[in-house]
Structure 1
Amino acid sequence: MVYNAIDLFAGCGGMTEGLFAAGYRVVAAVEIDHNAAQAYRANNEQRGVVLYEEDIRQVDPNAVKQLLGDEPLHLLAGCPPCQGFSTMRRKNKRGSKRDSRNLMSLS
Structure 2
Amino acid sequence: MQASEQLGILAEISGDYPRTARLHEEGVRSARELELFTQVSFRRARQGRIALLTGDTVRAADLHEQARRPAADQAHRPAEQFAEIGLALGARRAGDPDAAEGRLRP
Q: TM-score range by the shorter chain?
A: under 0.3
State the TM-score, normalized to the length of structure 1: 0.28
More helix by share: 2
Give the number of the structure with larger relative contact order, counting CA–CA contacts within 8 Å between residues 6 or more apart: 1
State the TM-score, normalized to the length of structure 2: 0.28
More strand by share: 1
Of structures 1 and 2, the larger Rg is shown by 1
